[in-house]
Amino acid sequence: MIIRMDGFEEDIYVSGKSCRMRVLRQKYREAMAMTYEMRDFPDVFCRLNRFERLDVDGELGS
């Protein structure tokens, strides 16, 4: 599963195990609850949920 996170300085793509939308929303809420600075959210989300941040240079489209 690849997820695009927008609203940061640039779009951020992360990859991890596929799950239902309901489960993904719960993971999002848990990461938000543990994040003090919004810029840290992608890293917190990845650490909590064993996702990897992808190094994408426009390869997946905009």
Is pLDDT at 62 greater than 70 in this prediction? no
Q: What distance in Å separates the CA atoms of residue 55 and residue 24, rounded to the nearest whole number?
A: 21
Each domain of the chain, given as residue ranges in start order, spans: 2-54
**Per-residue pLDDT tens over the stretch 14-61:** 999 999 999 999 999 999 999 999 889 999 999 999 999 998 765 555
The reported pLDDT for the residue numbered 6 is 86
Separation of CA 56 from chain center: 14
- pTM, whole model, 2 decimals? 0.81
Angle at 21 between CA 44 and CA 41, to 5 degrees: 15
